[in-house]
Structure 1
């Protein structure tokens, strides 16, 4: 039970870090709908939910929905979102992450403190603090565009994260922090390699993943041929 209205920043960081560490982290972007969760979370559009349940879309928008919302039904957490948010993937993905933050912070209502916690959770999930601080140690100058490119978030979200980390520092590092960085440093180094040579990082990353998959396929076929 909460005894204060102050945001639980340390708990937000710890819960987001543990969730992030459960993920594979080998793909290009952290897609919220494709993560592995230890809670029952269902993602659906407001349009489909209205069609299935008989609620009107306007009724849902007026009473429940902003950019997204969470409904709890029979032990499941249903995250609703607008179809139109598909048009801006980074904003869409962040919106869903924000709602997952409400779920993992066990919010039972939405107030200003809950919104701050959900945002802080999402920031740690997409832009893990320990990893960013290690980047700063190695590459010295890190800007919002660097974070945006590496972690597939908007530049504005990256700017906010930088401002936050100038004011906030985790009280302790978890074993998961080191594991996350260990699985991300190759991508980070590759980004700065591309940046130094004026290469398109995301295109180069895709090309590298395709080449890696092709090598794995050839290796698999060779083993079966032998």
Structure 2
């Protein structure tokens, strides 16, 4: 069964259609690519998946069930606009967010320390967000998204603004989470990241699905011009 399934999902704001009948399914342990220019409908789609806004038509299913508050514990989200408080310590903030997602304080602390070690920055535990470089603030945002061990992870432009070394580090981490069974909806406008990470993709253009399917098949049907 698919971890995440969207069936004919529509979202309108007044007379503007933000998402027009999108269908997609993300299997367990899959990174699924969602591509499109700004304003194509990617962020609206992700917000609906997260239960932050509701579709006007269609269905979103999580392991075959409709959205409920209990399901929030399954979800992790790294927004494009990074949202951690600059004047609060990394540990206070990330442990608090993990507890909001249903994790015990001790488990949250252990998970945070694991991730700080994984990113080779254990000393950030007591630092305030504003004391970190932009790239390291982004890594803390990533940790905040995964600290509670979500089963479904939504990543919006996860690598934007990172230097090449940190891009590779985060890519490796995303692949590791996939291999552990996490289902990941990965939004980007960088085709090379999608080619490396994703099996299936949907490309949106002005609220409509214009290309969808297995990325290898799609590449075959769009030969590169010599």
Normalised to the residue count of structure 2, the TM-score between the two structures is 0.30
Higher helix share: 1
Bigger RCO (CA 8 Å, 6+ sep)? 2
Higher Cα Rg: structure 1 or 2?
1
TM-score, scaled relative to structure 1? 0.30
